[in-house]
Structure 1
Amino acid sequence: MINIISAIGSIGTFIMALFYLVSVSVQLYQMKIGFIPAFGFNQILLTKDKNKELSLKNIASKNSEHQDFLELYNLGGGAAKAITIEIIINQEEIIQKKYVNMLPSQEGYLLPINKKVFQELSNTIENNGYDSNIDIRLTYKHNLSRKQQQIYLRGHIDNFNSYNDKEIYELQFM
């Protein structure tokens, strides 16, 4: 009788050890996910006035003047290293390439954009298109895996609001 009770106790201990192993594995996996970088842009508004001049405004920026940059944020928990940012038109022509050594969590990088990007955005709006030919390719390494990873973001323009003297559009990268 004591052998049976001892056997049941041993089986119970074994089952508890398995539950503990599964619990620790899940917690380690959740910690790993918390260190993965997640890139994103803040809300970007494009304004076209009567003179058909296009201007860009990052909503989170305190600067009220004409802006010629996008704010790239690392929204994940981890630090991204060796980041290469390429702005591509027509899925093949790299018109701008920038390097960022490290982008820690909750930090931003001001990505300057040049005249060709403004022209492409203006052409997309004039042709009443929603998907622009602008892609952003982000290549980076992160602290845990040390593997190089790539993200492709496609530019998308939505009509935001229209007034008598100007039209406002929202630029999103998906």
Structure 2
Amino acid sequence: MFHLQTKRLRFRNYTNADFYFLKGLLQSKDMMRYIGDGQTRNDAEVEQFLSWIYTHYREDEHTGLKIIENRKTGEPMGHAGIVPQVMNGQKQFEIGYWVAKAYWGQGFATEAAEAMKDYAEQEMHLTNLIALIQPGNKASMRIAETIGMHLDKTEMLNGQEVHVFTTKA
């Protein structure tokens, strides 16, 4: 069972009971602005996304997006995780982090990303992590830099230009 927490946050696997929370994230225009093609998702697509998350859990319990909860209240605030990606035919591991708009600007995404980076390095023994960030997403780029990542290159991924940040020196 996945177990991780920080000073303010606790991480746990998604369950079917989290469908409406995930729906809120995936149907928010502000949240989805820099995710994939920038489009919100309908209910069927939310179900597909949740199924995609569960696929990662089945492959490796350490991977996939995990719910970020407020440690004091248990309230879901977003999700973060170590997500397998294939870039140019090579498997890599991405640090993903999304925090609901109500929590933007309070350091939660940075705290979550840092925790996931440390977890990936210490528990999963990964030596190179990436973050895929669309060029307009300045806040996410600052988070990647704050946790010690740097811009490696810019590539096209599924028709979208993305900056590839890396932990590799």
If the length of structure 2 is used for normalisation, what is the TM-score?
0.25
User: Which protein has the bigger helix share?
Assistant: 2
Q: Which structure shows the bigger proportion of residues in strand conformation?
A: 1
Between structure 1 and structure 2, the one with the greater Rg is 1
